[in-house]
A and B are shown apart, each in its own frame.
Chain A
């Protein structure tokens, strides 16, 4: 009788283990639209922080969800179809690559965006390389 229970126990452990393993393996990418922003910042202030001390700002913001408000200067499409928004400065501003599934579902919002207008985006900060890289991102307003 005891052996029977032991076998059942081992089988249960294996099934749970396999389940967790498969779940981890097939874990989907983070859905930015559902994530809560850890920092809410003004675009110019964020650029200032990276310009002043790149390493400290990278430690603080890299891989974190940011909500950034600033002036839209460029709206573009990359050759792979990704929508690209640049805030504040074309060369040294904040480059946001929009989440492809969010983009597909919100084409009207993207089309309505105009250069020179204020915009608020939410996305994962990837660090600094000439400009601040944020991807994937979505438009909040």
Chain B
């Protein structure tokens, strides 16, 4: 199965808004039209997508949230690209944020987490239908380690807007993230990842 690469769709997208100011105005127009409803062509983008990271410990629950993730969906093929900056995850305690970035994710070395995948059994009708369950298979790249995963999710219209969500678990050890033995027993083996994106159409 051919999985599209973010890097191929991303510069193409940037170029498409760079070409000239007219195209940009067109783009804004498209955004305005989007409020009427999602149509099943071209690409969709969500610039302030939500992603959270949750782990339960006996002492305190650890929750990191970011609403600065970016995701692009190809409405023709059902391919999805998703990227998040590790440093944008916000935690309740400053110390958690510090440990997350410095000890675990090594955000300076690996600033972004990426997912490139495809919706299984995709059809354009899914973009104009009520929210339904989907499955997405693709490559998740976290902490510089890439793994192929299949995750459950939902996709469909919610109050006239195209919304995609996903909730799945990852095991940090699989991505080369070492957790000191002292805290290892106190943190759940798996971390829960929650994603929610409200897509807007752009381009052709």
Contacts and interface: CB of A to CB of B under 8 A. Distances in A.
Partners in one complex: yes
20 contacts: A25-B93, A25-B95, A27-B95, A28-B94, A59-B108, A62-B87, A62-B108, A78-B48, A80-B67, A84-B48, A91-B24, A91-B27, A92-B14, A95-B48, A126-B85, A129-B69, A129-B70, A129-B84, A130-B47, A135-B68
A78 B65 CA distance: 14
A30 B94 contact: yes
Secondary structure type dominating chain B contacts: mixed
Nearest to A26: B93
A110 B38 CA distance: 31
A133 interface: yes
Contact of A62 (B14, B93, B111): B111
A127 B28 contact: no
A44 interface: no
A135 B87 CA distance: 10
B112 interface: yes
Contacts of A59: 108
Interface residues of A, number: 29
B85 A129 contact: yes
Contact of A91 (B10, B17, B83, B97): B17
Contacts of B97: 29
B88 interface: yes
A97 B10 CA distance: 23
Interface of A: 24-30, 58-59, 62-63, 78-80, 82, 84, 90-92, 95, 97, 126-131, 133, 135
Given A26-B93, A62-B111, A92-B17, A127 B67 contact: no
Contacts of B48: 78, 84, 95
A72 to B, nearest CB: 16
A121 to B, nearest CB: 16
Contact of A129 (B17, B83, B94, B107): B83
Interface string B9-30: 0100010010000001001100
B111 A78 contact: no
A83 B16 CA distance: 28
